[in-house]
Structure 1
């Protein structure tokens, strides 16, 4: 009579003859001396694209927000998003009945 194999003893997992590279955690980025090939290729392709000098932003009122007189604005592509937020905040302060100071839900 043969005994069934014990669940705690299992055959070893065979080695993978073609191990795929594992994704590296962000903490390993401090010790990387070069980027993996696929990331290097992606960065090269992304930096080859021509960046437009200006970006068009279209403001659409949502909920109870009033519409702006100037619905479409152009900003330089090097501006940060905080520039757009400051512009929108300044414009909304000029609209009657709008509290443009800090957003966040009510309590």
Structure 2
């Protein structure tokens, strides 16, 4: 065995390769640019404010209207509160609520979240009926 070949094999096995010594992120997590990381550090998710949110109620079909048809409610309330309010006004046990005549929100959905996503003219339009109207 030649002395030069034995020493080269021992030196390559003792020194780690550059890829092994530096930690790397998994391929699904690319590095974040510095400008983005600075903004993300300062970002705090919005919390539901205690400010009042304007709701406009519109009946669907032959469902009777309620008064008042415009109401202000705290943003940290859930849709259950609105459902109970309309049920009480209509003197019925159940009512179906729709946001902009499109979908029926979950009962535990916050009014603030729906308002933030689906507001029209700075108010949330909530349609209601006694039977299922859409779907």
Interval of TM-score (by shorter of Structure 1 and Structure 2): 0.3 to 0.5
More strand by share: 2
Higher RCO (CA < 8 A, seq sep 6+): 2
Larger radius of gyration: 2
More helix by share: 2
